[in-house]
Amino acid sequence: MTEAPFFLDPIHQIPGIRAAWIPRVPNLPISGDRDQAMRSLRPFHEKAIADFGGAPETWWRAEQIHSANVAIVPNTPTIIAPDGLPVVPGVDGLLTQTPGIILAIYVADCGAIWLADRKTHAVGLLHSGKKGTENNILKQSLEIMVSNFDSNPCDIVAILGPCIRPPDYEVDFAAEIASQAASAGIGEFIDCGENTASDLNRHYSYRTEKGITGRMMALITFDPS
Check if the beta carbon of residue 105 is closer than 8 Å to that of residue 62: yes
0.85 exceeded by pTM: yes
**Residue 2 banded pLDDT, cuts 50, 70, 90:** low
pLDDT in tens, 28-65: 999 889 999 999 999 999 999 999 988 878 999 999 99
Q: How far is CA 76 from the centre of its chain?
A: 18
CATH number, span 6-197: 3.60.140.10
Asked whether the bond before 5 is cis by omega within 30 degrees of 0, the reply is: no
Q: What angle do CA 30, 131, 73 make, to 5 degrees?
A: 80
Check if the beta carbon of residue 110 is closer than 8 Å to that of residue 116: no
Domain ranges of the chain: 6-197
Cα–Cα distance, 172 to 37 (Å, whole number): 26
Check if the beta carbon of residue 177 is closer than 8 Å to that of residue 113: yes
**Residue 175 banded pLDDT, cuts 50, 70, 90:** very high
Mean pLDDT of 68-91: 96
Residue 21's φ and ψ, nearest 5 degrees, are -135, 120
For residue 123, the number of C-alpha atoms closer than 13 Å in the C-beta half-sphere is: 29
